[in-house]
């Protein structure tokens, strides 16, 4: 576990802010597609630090052993960019609904949070199909944008991103923007597309939408091993809440995919 210091804060859209960080250990991480990590946000008046040499076992056990009113909030994020020992993370702002959004809404240069990962143990290569399909909501946009930057110009791709309204669009070429303000939703738009079975699919965003899209592509004959998927958040629930039966089933599917 290491600490990160904010070096810049740049609004991208009304509901998304980009921050850069520096901190120890970034030079040793390396890069790979879809880098995910944990960020730790201090409670008011507290610290994001967790002992690097805990007396109670692993770092995570030390984290759990902290008193509730001192333990920093931990949330999962995807790296937007990691270069020259500078880490870039894009934050979706949704008011005071959640510690990450609350922190990001008022963060300033010099603020400090914690970092755990990313780990190359979870690295997965991009697919090699003739056509790649990417679909997610705004929480998945940083991952999708970073993945698209890795593709050769000639690579065929279909890209769908659901956002609140046109003001949330970013300069990401080739995206079919899905606007909730227009009554659209990601699942309906993607499932209406005529997509062949011999594709590679990447899905991210709200968990129930990700599950619905995964079922759709499997039903169309896409091999499960050719579908990368991750439910980043759950409607009405947070990462602090206990996993549901669907969450546990998703985790088993992801573990099975990693072992193939």
Tens of pLDDT along the chain (260 residues) come to 899 999 999 999 999 999 999 999 999 999 999 999 999 999 988 899 887 655 656 778 888 889 999 999 999 999 999 999 999 999 999 877 789 999 999 999 999 999 999 988 888 899 999 999 999 999 999 999 999 999 999 999 999 999 999 999 999 999 999 999 999 999 999 999 999 999 999 999 999 999 999 999 999 999 999 999 999 886 555 555 445 555 555 556 655 554 55
Q: What fold does the segment set 2-118 form as a domain?
A: Elongation Factor Tu (Ef-tu); domain 3 (2.40.30)
Rounded Cα distance between 145 and 90, Å, is 11
User: Which residues touch 184 (CB under 8 Å, ≥6 apart)?
Assistant: 162, 178
pTM of this structure:
0.88
Rounded Cα distance between 103 and 77, Å, is 14
DSSP 3-state of 89: strand
Rounded Cα distance between 123 and 116, Å, is 15
Closest of 209, 210, 207, 204 to residue 233, by C-alpha: 207
Query: Would 2-118 and 124-259 be classified into the same CATH topology?
Result: no
Element (H, E) at 228: strand 227-233
Rounded Cα distance between 92 and 89, Å, is 10
- The class level of CATH for 124-259 reads alpha beta
DSSP state of 58: S
User: Which residues touch 208 (CB under 8 Å, ≥6 apart)?
Assistant: 231, 234, 235, 246
How is the chain split into domains, by residue range?
A: 2-118, 124-259
Degrees, nearest 5: CA angle 102-105-107: 100
**CB count in 10 Å sphere of residue 210:** 25
């Amino acid at each position: 576990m290491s600490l990160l210091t904010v070096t810049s804060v740049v609004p991208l859209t009304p509901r998304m802010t980009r921050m850069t960080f520096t901190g120890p250990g970034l030079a040793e991480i390396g890069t790979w597609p879809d880098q995910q990590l944990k960020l730790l946000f201090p409670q008011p008046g507290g610290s994001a630090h967790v002992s690097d040499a805990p007396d109670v076992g692993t770092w995570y056990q030390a984290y759990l052993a902290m008193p509730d009113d001192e333990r920093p909030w931990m949330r999962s994020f995807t790296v937007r960019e990691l270069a020259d020992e500078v880490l870039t993370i894009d934050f979706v702002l949704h008011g005071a609904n959640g510690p990450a959004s609350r922190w990001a809404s008022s963060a300033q240069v010099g603020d400090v949070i914690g970092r755990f990962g990313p780990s190359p143990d979870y690295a997965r290569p991009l697919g090699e199909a003739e056509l790649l399909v990417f679909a997610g909501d705004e929480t998945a946009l940083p991952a999708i944008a970073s993945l698209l930057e890795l593709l050769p110009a000639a690579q065929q791709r279909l890209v769908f991103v659901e956002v609140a309204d046109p003001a949330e669009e970013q300069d990401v070429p080739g995206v079919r923007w899905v606007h909730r303000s227009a009554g659209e939703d990601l699942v309906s738009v993607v499932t209406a597309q005529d997509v062949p079975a011999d594709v590679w699919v990447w899905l991210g965003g709200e968990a129930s939408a990700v599950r619905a899209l995964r079922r759709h592509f499997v039903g169309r004959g896409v091999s499960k091993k050719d579908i990368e998927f991750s439910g980043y958040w759950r409607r009405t629930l947070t990462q602090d809440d206990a996993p549901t039966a669907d969450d546990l089933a998703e985790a088993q599917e992801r573990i099975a995919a990693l072992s193939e």
